[in-house]
Amino acid sequence: MSTLTSAPVRQRVEMATAVALLVTLILWASAFPGIRAALVGFSPGELALLRFLVASVVLVLSIPLTHIRVPPARDIPKLALLGAIGITTYHLALNYGETRVSAGAASFLVNTVPIFMALLASMLLGERLHAVGWLGLFVSLAGSVVIAAGAGAGYGVNPWVGLILAAAMCQALFSVLQKPLLRSYRPIELTAYAIWSGTVFSLGFLPGLEGALRAAPLNATLAAVYLGAFPTALGYLTWAFVLSRQSAQKAGSFLYFVPVLTMIIAWMWLGELPSVLTLAGGALALVGVALVNTSTITKARQRALS
């Protein structure tokens, strides 16, 4: 009886995970052109703070519905570290990088995250990828390189690229570090703690924010508000939910969809047209994701049989 009743429950959980993953990918893909749009009216630091303030308010308003608990004192340093790495440092590096790097190229560079996640998960979480999985990671990386070539981004000689690669490493570390904490905290709680602490670490940009809000074009302000409410508050929540249901390596492999989605959104929002190389690179990225998933499923079946 328990086996019969557990199958529908498992299917609902898998469906919820798939929906959360899709929402995360779309929202995070839209963040790259959104940042470019918002930087018209705000400095990178001011944009980061405004984005975090909006996200923080959204999460505070959600407390009556979500019942976010006060964390024990012993966990506060860990939660503060999550915010410092995955919120403050990541977004500052990305914002400053996008002042000199296009949205499409930035999405490629940030999407080296699964490579970093695979390495960090192997070292810190004891997760292992089959050889096919590693092949998939590098096939997807090759696809992202083709996407960048199609976008015409000169990332090879652009020193600002280093900042975006640093952002990618921060996001990978953020995802891996929060994985053990998801045993004790719900996704909404980890999302809130990280964003609130990241906001505190960004308050140094507060003095210039008021003047920037008065001078910024309406479109830039709306873009910043959108970034805070959706890619930040909602996107980090759905990503934490995905990590609570999947391995860090498997979840990270899906981030290779982001450059493809970014190209589409950037075309609609900023008028950046994808090229044939971009479409070819997107196809390679999808093949790589399929290979990683095949490797993960194979390992799960081997464990079940052993």
Residue 299 clears pLDDT 60, i.e. is over it: no
Per-residue pLDDT tens digits for 81-120: 999 999 999 999 999 999 988 888 788 778 777 777 776 7
Q: What pLDDT is attached to residue 165?
A: 82
* Residue 43 in tokens: 């400095």
Per-residue pLDDT tens digits for 113-157: 777 777 677 677 666 767 887 888 788 778 777 766 665 544 444
Task: Render 110-121 in DSSP notation, one character per residue.
Answer: HTTHHHHHHHHI
- CA separation for the pair 7, 94 (Å, rounded): 42
CA 75 to the chain's CA centroid: 23
Half-sphere exposure of 182 (CA within 13 A, CB side): 22
Give exposure, 210-226, as e/b (b: 16+ Cβ within 10 Å): eebeeebeeebbebbbb
As a dihedral over the C-alpha atoms of residue 192, residue 26, residue 150, residue 99, rounded to 10 degrees, the angle is -40
C-alpha distances in Å from residue 130, one per residue of 281, 291, 298: 23, 10, 9
User: Tokens 């990178």 belong to which residue?
Assistant: 44
Cβ within 8 Å of residue 215, ≥6 positions away: 41
- CA separation for the pair 4, 133 (Å, rounded): 32
Cβ–Cβ under 8 Å, residues 196 and 59? yes
* Residue 143 in tokens: 């696809």
